[in-house]
């Protein structure tokens, strides 16, 4: 069987080191050079001929992160790697998964196309914004579920006073899965947007009076939706409001919004690096989950045991 070699892009090195340590193997040697004009030039400084190569890099902005990953894939293929599996903890551009208005790009499909064109043999990712994005690829996609991280953490704090919530109608299915697992009730926050990152109105569908509310979503960007949902839930009588979010994008005034909000705690993962520390934010690592997935993929075993 071919040997496993794990490499990291510069944007996800903090997580790749933890994944490699959990797997029990050091990261492979790769040099990520740049020309004076910013042009990226990665090259592998060890032989990967005949190896099963795993490249770890989230595709969040700037676009250099995607370009770096594409060049790493191409370099690995040209260096005669037997297989190239691309581990993308956070799949950027996933929110552009359809034509929701005329004359717009479907960014998620475009990223899928260029990853395949570069030579990726397999994709491993976590909590896509829309599950159907898996169908944009013509290669295998292992779609990891962060519930394997969140459920054990939440188990001790769930009681008869707990109720789950979705910050918008689109996230109802996600919240319902957690509610079904823990056998608790759920409510929905129905929002209306004027434009991206700007909420016009929001209302709560369901009763939260005297309840400990836990909100679920796949990502948090400016934190506007989440903070408004927390405020409204508190106004409706909720005792506490916590949020469980997989990807901490946290752009713009997100940290300020969170600090000034009535949200009691934000539980998230390290698929993306935090730009600031905030007492309200609790970070759980996905390193062990991805390390186990890498081992099972290489050993041609089912990864279904990693799901809850």
* Residues 48-65 pLDDT 10s: 999 999 999 999 999 999
d(CA 294, CA 308): 18
Is the same domain home to 232 and 274?
A: yes
The answer on 125 and 254 residing in a single domain is no
Report the SS3 class of residue 246. strand
pLDDT value, residue 190? 79
Reported as a pLDDT band with limits 50, 70 and 90, residue 100 is confident
Same domain for 188 and 97, yes or no, is no
Tell whether 140 and 212 lie within a shared domain.
no
Q: Residue 198's pLDDT is what? A: 54
Contact 12, 57 (CB under 8 A): yes
- Annotation says 191 is catalytic: yes
Q: Which of 5, 77, 191, 194 is catalytic?
A: 191
Banded pLDDT at 220 (limits 50, 70, 90)? very high
- The CATH number of residue 254's host domain is 3.40.50.2020
pLDDT tens by residue, 245-263:
999 999 999 999 999 999 9
What pLDDT is attached to residue 193? Answer: 56
Same domain, 173 and 248: yes
Do residue 139 and residue 196 come from a single domain?
no
For residues 127, 128, 134, 139, the Cα torsion angle rounded to the nearest 10 degrees is: -70
d(CA 179, CA 187): 10
Q: Is 209 exposed, middle or buried (0-12, 13-18, 19+ CB in 10 A)?
A: exposed
For residues 34 and 110, membership in a common domain is answered with: yes
DSSP helix/strand/coil, 112: helix
Query: CB within 8 A of 20, min separation 6: which ones?
Result: 6, 8, 26, 27, 291
Q: Provide long-range contacts, Cβ within 8 A and 24+ apart, for 69-74.
A: 69/9, 69/115, 69/118, 70/114, 70/115, 70/118, 71/40, 71/41, 71/42, 72/7, 72/9, 72/30, 72/42, 73/115, 73/118, 73/119, 73/120, 74/118, 74/119
215 and 271 fall within a common domain:
yes
pLDDT, tens digit (0-9, with 9 covering 90-100), for 108-155: 999 999 999 999 999 999 999 999 999 999 999 999 999 999 999 999
* Amino acid 191: pLDDT: 66
Is the pLDDT reported for residue 294 higher than 80?
yes
96 and 35 both lie in a single domain = yes
Task: Note whether 122 and 181 are same-domain residues.
Answer: no
What average pLDDT score do residues 176-183 get?
Answer: 94
Summarize the confidence of residues 81-91 as an average pLDDT.
Answer: 98
Q: pLDDT at position 192, please?
A: 62
Instruction: Give every strand in the sheet of 52-56, ordered side by side.
Output: 4-8, 52-56, 83-88, 122-126, 141-144
Q: Distance (Å, rounded) from C-alpha 223 to C-alpha 298?
A: 38
Question: Count of domains in the chain?
Answer: 2
Range of the domain at 69: 4-145+287-306
Answer yes or no: do 242 and 134 share one domain. Answer: no
Q: Where residue 81 falls among pLDDT bands split at 50, 70, 90?
A: very high
> 175 and 216 in contact (C-beta within 8 Å)?
yes
* pTM score: 0.93
* 31-35, 100-104, 124-128, 196-200: least confidently modelled range: 196-200
């Amino acid at each position: 069987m071919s040997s496993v070699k794990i490499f990291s892009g510069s944007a996800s090195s903090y997580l790749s080191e933890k994944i490699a340590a959990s797997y029990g193997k050091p990261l492979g040697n790769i040099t990520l050079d740049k020309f004076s004009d910013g042009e990226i030039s990665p090259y592998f400084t060890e032989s990967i001929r005949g190896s099963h190569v795993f490249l770890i890099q989230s595709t969040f902005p700037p676009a250099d992160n995607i370009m770096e990953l594409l060049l790493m894939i191409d370099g690995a293929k040209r260096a005669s790697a037997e297989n190239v599996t691309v581990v993308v903890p956070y799949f950027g551009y996933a929110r552009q998964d359809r034509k929701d208005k005329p004359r717009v790009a479907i960014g998620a499909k475009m990223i899928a196309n260029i990853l395949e064109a570069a030579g990726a043999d397999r994709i491993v990712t976590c909590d896509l914004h829309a599950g159907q994005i898996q169908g944009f690829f013509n290669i295998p996609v292992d779609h990891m579920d962060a519930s394997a991280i969140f459920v054990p953490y939440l188990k001790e704090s769930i009681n008869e006073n707990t109720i789950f919530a979705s910050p918008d109608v689109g996230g109802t299915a996600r919240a319902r899965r957690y509610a079904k697992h823990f056998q608790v009730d759920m409510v929905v926050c129905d929002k209306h947007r004027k434009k991206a990152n700007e909420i016009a109105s929001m209302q709560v569908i369901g009763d939260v009076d005297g309840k400990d509310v836990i909100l679920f979503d796949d990502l948090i960007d400016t934190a506007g939706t989440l903070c408004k949902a927390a405020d409204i839930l508190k106004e409706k009588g909720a005792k506490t409001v916590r949020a469980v979010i997989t990807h901490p994008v946290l752009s713009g005034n997100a940290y300020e919004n969170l600090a000034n909000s009535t949200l009691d705690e934000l539980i998230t993962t390290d698929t993306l690096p935090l730009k600031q520390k905030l007492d309200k934010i609790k970070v759980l690592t996905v390193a062990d989950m991805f390390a186990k997935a890498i081992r099972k993929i290489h050993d041609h075993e089912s990864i279904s045991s990693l799901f809850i």
